[in-house]
Each structure stands twice: as C-alpha cells, then as structure tokens.
A and B are shown apart, each in its own frame.
Chain A
C-alpha cells in the first residue's frame, strides 16, 4: 500500500512540476481551453434561459371557457366532466362570478377602480369560468371550437396565435443551441488534444529518456495525464469567474427578466454553481482525454 501511494504521489508531483516547467506550453493549452469554455459558457447560459422562457410561455398558454349565466351547480359539474374528457387539457380550475369580478377589479389601481366593487356588490356581471392549461403542441383553435360545442359554454378563449408562434420560434432557437454547443465542444476537444499533442511531441526526447531508464507506459503516461487535467482545470478558472460574475451582473442589470416579465431569467443562485461545476468538469475531462490520447499514440510507436 505504501508503495502504491508513493507511486501515485510521484505521478502527481511530476504532473504538477510538468505544468510549471513547461509553463509557456501549459499556458497556451490552457488558453485554448479558456476560450472554448467561455464560448460554451455563453451558449449554455443562453440555451438554459431560452429553455426557461419556453417552459414559462408554454405553461402560460391557458384556455378559458366561460359559462352561461343561467348555468347552475349541476350544469357546471356537467361542463367540468366534459372538459376533463378532452385531450391535452390539464389543471382545470374553476373561477366563480365573484372571483372573476375580483380579478377584473384587481387589474385597476386601488384608488382608480371606478367604484366597481360597490356598483356590482352581490350581482357580478361576469361569467363564471373554467381555466385550464393546454399541453404544448395542441391545436388551440380546434380545441376552442370543441369546448364551445359543450352545452352551456358561453365561449372559449385563449392567449392568441402570437404566443404559440413565439413558443415555436424559441423551440427552434433551442434546437439550434444544442447543435451549436455540441459542435463547439467537439471543436474544444480537438483543439485541446491537438495542443497537448504538440506539447508532447515536443517532449518526445523526454519520453525517450524515460524509456531508456526503464519507465513503464504507466510511469510515462500518468504524469502527462495529470498534467493535462491540471491544464484543463487551469483553463476553466477564467470561464468560471466569467460565468459567475458575468451572469450575476447581467441578471441584476436586466432586473431578472429579458425585455418583458413574460421572459424571466433563471435566478443565478443555484444556476451559476451548476454551470461552473459543469465547466470545471468539462475542462478537466477534456484535458484528461486530450493528454491520454496523445501520449498513448506516441507510446505505441516505440517498443
């Protein structure tokens, strides 16, 4: 066991010193990591926020079915059971005539509500209504027609085509984002493994010496792999700082929303932590893979 830890300790020490001794090369590899991780970070922020917008908009696609004035409790229950049978309809909520009036009044300022509350006390002019959420991808127009055909439904109403189009647009933005992040990550791995390959190629003399004194493949490979991980870690520091401070700054600057209240941003608190964790892990694994592949490739050349 002692021998094992001694060996591991040596690998770490060699890897650590490797970064320092080949500072310029380590720095150039790390900056490749930094640039790509920063780009990835920007796209991830964008991507998750767009996802958030879409979810938010989708859940705001509410259908409202207004009920005839003469419909009593039994009639309302019949409408409810009809609505429940419809496909793609969830979370049906009932709002009485009085509640509808309250909602209507609450749209006005308290000191400028024309005294509606007094005027209509006890005799609300509003229709009682059912509100329901509609699953995304549902044909809203067809659904509205179906609902209007239910007996004692006065009319059916939804937010309009604009919302639906917006959701569709954001969806395609999101798919584009996935493709962009994926190709960017591939580019990062290629760039980093290339840089590390170069640094290792430059050190084939070192590897030849290690071979000459009888170092096994593991003895040669591990310090380089640890070096690669450290370079990846080093390269992810700036993107992490950028993500944390940049996102928090952006969030406070924009007041937590993009343009309108309809597009709220993801609150920074757990989000930036996950994002940074992801970036650090991405940097380290890219460094690990890059150095592992490039050393292994060189090791196979020689006996």
Chain B
C-alpha cells in the first residue's frame, strides 16, 4: 500500500536529503523511522503527505503517485493520511471537540455524523470528559491525544506520527505508545512513527527503519535499535 522506488530528494538550495530510498510497507503495519537529526526523516514524511515532490523516483501511496499529484488534488489525497506532530498543533481558540470535528468538517459530513465520530474517537483516546476544554487547559499528554484523535477522526489509512513523544516525559510517552498500538489494532490503521527515543523503540519492538545522512541503512523487521549490532 505504500511503496518508495529509488526515491531521491534534493532541495532547491542544494541540500541532499534522501538518496535512492527503496521501501515497502503493508496495510496494518506499525513501523518506526529512526535516525539522527538531518538524516532525512522529515523529508520522508513530507514526501509521503505530498508537501514535497521527489527529485527522482516514485512515491506510491494507496496506488497514487504522490509526486505527480496536481496542486489542487493534494488536499483530497491528504485526507487519506493523518499526521501527528511533536508540537501537537492544535487550534488554541477552539475546544477539544471543535479541534477534532475540524478534520471532519473539511470532508463536509453532516453534523450528526461528525458529533458521533468525534465522541467515538474521544472515547478511543480516553478524553471523554474533555470535549469543552481548550488545549491550553490540558497537559502535554492530553494535548497529544487530542492531536491523535484529530488525525484519526476521518479514518485515514495511514497515520504518520512525527516525534509524537518528543515533548513528553517517559510515562506519558508510554501512554501515547499504547494508544497508537491500540489504534493500530482496533482501527487497522498503518502507523509510521518517527522518533529518536531509542528506549521506546527497544521497549515496544516493531519493524524499524534506520535513516542516516539520507540513506536507508537498516530495515529491521524484528525491531529494536541496538539488536542489529
């Protein structure tokens, strides 16, 4: 369902971000992408959600050649992908409920459907009673759950989590991990999680892709960062 063939990316300013990456991920997988800063993780995500176009090669997601998408078709494509960021990116002036509903409103669903689905995902992430709270009134972990709820509200096939635990302490990180695993299990969502939290990667073992200086240097189906050495 997700395939990268000989993908390279060079930015306009001459920076080489990715070299000849080949990758295949199946529906329902949970994959870590790890690597140091500047190894090309962010570029990989931007290629997947259509924000950047590959310089060479083909990015194929759900049978769509993402790099060849017309500008006007990108928003519709992006509805197949939920994205969670390290800094949560919630709309501060909207309540938790409205933040989550927002993702469904762009799909132009009837209000009844929206309300039902929002309650459902709020229950899934364990925030049933926080609907009327504003993001600033929540803890970091809770805010990240709202962001996750928003990302999965429109039932995307793929959930990309960019350092979702980067701003959280280990306990909260564990909670977020369990939540992502639950979504992977219950909703069947393919999850790509970018992280450099090796403790987490070793604790919850899953397929792990290692990026270094733009090269895909390891693809460990067994998981665990230090297990290959």
A-side residues, CB < 8 A to B, are 3, 6-7, 10, 21-22, 205-206, 208-217, 219, 302-303
Contact = CB atoms under 8 A, between A and B. Distances in A.
Interface in B44-60: 49-53
A213 B89 CA distance: 11
Contacts of B71: 303
B72 A209 contact: no
Interface centre among B75, B77, B91, B150 (most CB of A within 10 A): B75
B38 to A, nearest CB: 22
Contact of A215 (B51, B75, B77): B75
A214 B51 contact: no
A209 B50 CA distance: 14
A214 B93 contact: no
Given A212-B83, A214-B79, A303-B52, A219 B106 contact: yes
A6 B107 CA distance: 11
Nearest to B106: A215
A208 B89 contact: yes
Given A3-B108, A303-B50, A214 B78 contact: yes
Nearest to A9: B111
Given A6-B110, A212-B83, A215-B106, A206 B91 contact: yes
B154 interface: yes
A264 B52 CA distance: 67
Nearest to B99: A209
Contact of A10 (B50, B53, B72, B105): B105
B102 A303 contact: no
Contact of A211 (B75, B93, B105): B75
Chain A: interface secondary structure? helix
B106 A21 contact: no
A216 B106 contact: yes
Interface string B73-84: 011111100010
Contacts, number: 58
B151 to A, nearest CB: 8
Contact of A205 (B74, B89, B106, B108): B89
B103 interface: yes
Interface range, B side? 20 to 34
A44 B8 CA distance: 62
A154 B214 CA distance: 105
Given A21-B93, A206-B91, A302-B51, A213 B106 contact: yes
Contacts of B107: 214
Contacts of B93: 21-22
A303 B74 contact: yes
B111 to A, nearest CB: 8
Contacts of A208: 89
A212 B110 CA distance: 21
16 contacts: A3-B108, A209-B102, A211-B78, A212-B49, A212-B78, A212-B83, A212-B85, A212-B89, A213-B102, A213-B106, A213-B150, A214-B75, A214-B77, A216-B75, A219-B106, A303-B71
A302 B78 CA distance: 14
A208 to B, nearest CB: 7
A212 B154 CA distance: 12
Nearest to B102: A213
Contacts of B74: 303
A252 to B, nearest CB: 47
Contacts of B154: 213-214
Given A10-B105, A216-B106, A209 B78 contact: no
A214 B85 CA distance: 15
A10 B101 CA distance: 12
A142 B93 CA distance: 76
B106 A209 contact: no
A214 B103 contact: yes
A209 B103 CA distance: 9
Contacts of B102: 209-210, 213
Contact of A216 (B50, B51, B76, B150): B76
B108 A6 contact: yes
Nearest to B111: A6
Contacts of B150: 213
A209 B89 contact: yes
A217 B78 CA distance: 13
